[in-house]
Amino acid sequence: MDYEKYLSARVKTLKASAIREMFKLMADPEIISLAGGSPDPSLFPAKELAQIAQEILTENPVCALQYGTTDGYAPFKEVATGRAAKVGCVAEGDKIIITTGEQQAIDLALKSFVNDGENVAVEEPSFVGTLNSIRAHNGKLVPVPMDSDGMNLEKFEEILNGTKIKMLYTIPTFQNPSGITMSAEKRKKLIDLAEKYDFLIIEDNPYGDLRFAGEDVPPVKSFDKMGRVFYCSSFSKILSPGMRLGYIVAPADVIDRIEIAKQANDVHTPVLTQMMAAEYVKRYDIEANIAKAREIYGRKCSFMLSCMEKYFPDGVTWTTPEGGLFIWCTAPAGTDIQAVLMEAIKNKVAFVAGNSFMVDQDKPCSSFRLNYSTMPEEKIEKGIKALGESLSKFVKQ
Amino acid sequence: MDYEKYLSARVKTLKASAIREMFKLMADPEIISLAGGSPDPSLFPAKELAQIAQEILTENPVCALQYGTTDGYAPFKEVATGRAAKVGCVAEGDKIIITTGEQQAIDLALKSFVNDGENVAVEEPSFVGTLNSIRAHNGKLVPVPMDSDGMNLEKFEEILNGTKIKMLYTIPTFQNPSGITMSAEKRKKLIDLAEKYDFLIIEDNPYGDLRFAGEDVPPVKSFDKMGRVFYCSSFSKILSPGMRLGYIVAPADVIDRIEIAKQANDVHTPVLTQMMAAEYVKRYDIEANIAKAREIYGRKCSFMLSCMEKYFPDGVTWTTPEGGLFIWCTAPAGTDIQAVLMEAIKNKVAFVAGNSFMVDQDKPCSSFRLNYSTMPEEKIEKGIKALGESLSKFVKQ
């Protein structure tokens, strides 16, 4: 049977995420993957979580194994509310929804607010998971170019003048894939634009805690007096991505709606992992963990940048992030990055080609994304060296 | 700010699930809830899972805590594939997607195949979670009446003659909320109708293992030669609902599509719970667990039925299920079930009013759903007695 003709319009155009497909390659233990966005596995507090899981399932098993509430396990909701409040994102009436990873928070916010064909503005490049989520809700992607201090707001205002934008999706801090952080000034200006042009904002902040240089910039949500910003964040980068724990802070009325949307999506997020995370935060100093992550990622980032200086051919440029997980590289226009990728994989190193992060994935793109958080330093050097050789074959000098 | 005007059409009409709202009531420990569909908590293998969780997080922590693959943890996929194969639902090329609870399997199948305004046929009454999921994808619900041996196929064919149906959603075994099981003959006929009228079928089978009377009937999917049936099932009723583990068996091309849709929804299902379930099935005899569940639910069902005989006023009728978790009761037409519910809650017993399970939730409905799996027997008796008293006030003799 040919299922294509039955497919809904909303999924027909979706392509498999290049990053998720890369995961399959990673089954080859010889491949050095600079493709994913996985935390350094040495940061997982495995021993502590083993003990906590055992205790929860011994002392409070019915709570862990029975159905839970859609909004989340109360003590974990408190933890998440506290983390958001710490960066100035106060949950109205302490209302928050725990989601099965932050991707679900973003997906439910889009599902609840984007009608077919409505325009959703995104930074270009942007996170492929959200681009696909917008496509899957029949939203129309409107790209906004980036400067070194975040979205180009002049260009955005030009767009706003000609096009009705329903929502903006932004990753203001250590943006994926660019590594760029939006300035505080631009964040304030964004709120003014939202008010003036009447749009809503989804703020995606999974990396905010991972600053290893420069000064913290408050979330866009912290400047929001009107309730236009829905703030999404995650425990993936500060505790464990495999546990799939995210959350959304938004006005109480919006939270009520997202709760209903979540009921029809996965009923609730698994309880055990929520209990484990809540108990971990209660017993241990998660800030010490985060400090360790910052130190490791800062070191690895510097190291990768120094390897790139050494091994990359002239003409390739890149961003210098102050935190997060990614470096965005750009080869001279016309470089065939897909060919570089094929060659690199032959050389046992993987990365993500830039076109994945574009609104129009078929447009030629000479950029690509590198991740420095996952691999140990000796593999970073080996990988960047191999990648440099692959690039040299295709970069026209 | 008034967020109503920004809401997407697809969620605007959604109401909070009465059952999920009931969960909040259950925080009152005095309330006897016959409302939910929760397993008997004595069935959770808590001690074994505590040991397994501890071992996994000690011996294989990176696998449990790092990002996983979207389709699921390979050994757990094998377990799920095996369970489906055992009832005649063979996964093409062993392809299967593990989902965050079965609700997500159904939701992703609908998202992938239902376009705005397309007709989705459902049994009436039907599971409120799926009704809302269909509404949330802008599907148009087309109710098909039920007989004591499943959907009325004559009525369904009349509908098919006048209306293009894209998909049918059915819970053929121990239907929620009616407790009805579709005959094998009707299941075969359904496949013929799907072929003749060119529609797809989502088969929802979370309760199939829980038969305590009569003979097993093979899933609709087991009769499907053409690949029109997408088979969804769950570990919620045989292991733990809080772990949120479901799966979908469908033709390989369809699985590929649903995998992409899941990437944009929650990336992947938490890994630890998948590993725990896989290891549990490997080490212990889950069939013995299921046999115990069958015995307990059979006993509780009989007991509840005998209490209903004793305490319910004349004129109230009900189904006699051969398995599953629910009894469907019908009071004489005109009985105000919402008023009965309010009175019952005052008397510290909760159930779900029948209109929740209807396509048109505002139409008067004198039916309601009872659950016998969750409460211990002394509370079942106390609850049914209180409910009988509440009913007597409103049933006109």
Mutate to test the interface with A, among B5, B59, B244, B373 (most CBs of A within 10 A): B244
Range list of H helices, B15-87:
18-25, 46-59, 61-65, 74-86
pLDDT for residue A2? 86
> Alpha carbon of B113 to those of A6, A7, A338, B72, B257: distances in Å?
6, 5, 31, 22, 10
Q: Which of B54, B115, B135 sits opposite A54 (nearest CB)?
A: B54
Residue A312 reports pLDDT greater than 80: yes
Q: Is A3 on the interface with B (CB under 8 A)?
A: yes
Residue B90 CB burial class (10 angstroms; 0-12, 13-18, ≥19): middle
Q: Band of the pLDDT at A11, cuts 50, 70, 90?
A: confident
Residue B23 reports pLDDT greater than 70: no
Min Cα–Cα distance to chain B from A243, Å: 5
pLDDT for residue A243? 98
Distance CA(A173)–CA(A211), nearest Å, equals 9
For range A92-113, the mean pLDDT: 96
Q: Which of A57, A254, A266 sits opposite B244 (nearest CB)?
A: A266
Q: What is the pLDDT of residues B329-370, one digit of tens each?
A: 999 999 999 999 999 999 999 999 999 999 999 988 999 999
A164-A166-A170 Cα angle (round to 5): 115
Residue B80 reports pLDDT greater than 80: yes
For range B278-302, the mean pLDDT: 98
Residue A76 reports pLDDT greater than 70: yes
Q: What is the pLDDT of residues B250-266, one digit of tens each?
A: 999 999 999 999 999 99
Q: Which residues, in sequence order, are bridge partners of residue A123?
A: A144
Q: Band of the pLDDT at B288, cuts 50, 70, 90?
A: very high
pLDDT for residue A24? 67
> Alpha carbon of A28 to those of A39, A346, A350, A358: distances in Å?
19, 12, 11, 28
The 3-state DSSP composition of chain B as helix, strand, coil percent (nearest 5) reads: 45, 15, 40
Distance CA(A171)–CA(A173), nearest Å, equals 6
Closest CA to A124 of A193, A167, A171: A171
Residue B4 CB burial class (10 angstroms; 0-12, 13-18, ≥19): exposed
For range B161-182, the mean pLDDT: 97
Its ipTM equals 0.96
Kindly state the DSSP code that residue A373 receives in the 8-state scheme.
S
Residues of B in contact with A266 (CB under 8 A): 99-101, 103-104, 107, 244, 266
Q: Is B240 on the interface with A (CB under 8 A)?
A: yes
Q: Which helix (H) or strand (E) holds B392?
A: helix B377-394
Share of chain A above pLDDT 90, in %: 90
Residue A314 reports pLDDT greater than 70: yes
pLDDT for residue B105? 98
Residues of B in contact with A240 (CB under 8 A): 65-66
pLDDT for residue B14? 81
Measured on CA atoms in the order B8, B9, B15, B19, is the torsion positive or negative?
Answer: negative
Residues of A in contact with B129 (CB under 8 A): 263-264, 267
For range B92-115, the mean pLDDT: 96
pLDDT for residue B352? 94
Q: What is the pLDDT of residues A116-151, one digit of tens each?
A: 999 999 999 999 999 999 999 999 999 999 999 999
Would you identify the CATH topology of the domain A60-283?
A: Aspartate Aminotransferase; domain 2 (3.40.640)
Q: What is the pLDDT of residues B365-390, one digit of tens each?
A: 999 999 999 999 999 999 999 999 99
Exposure class string for A177-208: b at 16+ Cβ within 10 A, else e: bbbbbbebebbebbbebbeebebbbbbbbbbb
pLDDT for residue A26? 62
Q: What is the pLDDT of residues A228-251, one digit of tens each?
A: 999 999 999 999 999 999 999 999
Question: Cβ–Cβ of B66/A38 closer than 8 Å?
Answer: yes
Residue A28 reports pLDDT greater than 90: no
For range B97-122, the mean pLDDT: 97
Distance CA(A242)–CA(B221), nearest Å, equals 32
For range B92-102, the mean pLDDT: 95
Same fold, B4-44+288-394 and B61-283: no
Nearest CA in chain B to A116: B8
* Under 8 Å between Cβ of A372 and A357: no
Q: What is the pLDDT of residues B201-215, one digit of tens each?
A: 999 999 999 999 999
For range B295-309, the mean pLDDT: 98
CA B306 from chain centre, in angstroms, equals 25
Q: Which homologous superfamily does the CATH classification assign to the domain defined by B4-44+288-394?
A: Aspartate Aminotransferase, domain 1 (3.90.1150.10)
The correct answer on CATH 3.65.10.10 for the domain covering B61-283 is no
C-alpha torsion B80→B86→B90→B91, nearest 10: 10
Q: Which residue has the tokens 């959304």?
A: A248
Q: Which of B3, B111, B242 sits opposite A8 (nearest CB)?
A: B111
Residues 6 or more apart whose Cβ sits within 8 Å of residue B394 = B331, B335, B336, B339, B340, B343
Q: Band of the pLDDT at B27, cuts 50, 70, 90?
A: low
Question: Cβ–Cβ of B133/A271 closer than 8 Å?
Answer: no
E strands of B39-164, at which residues? 97-100, 119-124, 140-147, 150-151
Residue B325 reports pLDDT greater than 90: yes
Distance CA(B105)–CA(B319), nearest Å, equals 28
Q: What is the pLDDT of residues A271-293, one digit of tens each?
A: 999 999 999 999 999 999 999 99
pLDDT for residue B82? 98
Distance CA(B386)–CA(B348), nearest Å, equals 8
Q: Is A107 on the interface with B (CB under 8 A)?
A: yes
Q: Name which of A19-33, A110-124, A139-153, A204-218 the model is least confident about.
A: A19-33
- In the three-class reduction of DSSP (H, G, I as helix; E, B as strand; rest coil), residue A4 is classed as helix
Residue B22 reports pLDDT greater than 90: no
Residue B290 reports pLDDT greater than 90: yes
Residues of A in contact with B268 (CB under 8 A): 101, 244
pLDDT for residue B24? 67
Residue A23 reports pLDDT greater than 70: no
Domain edges within chain A:
4-44+288-394, 60-283
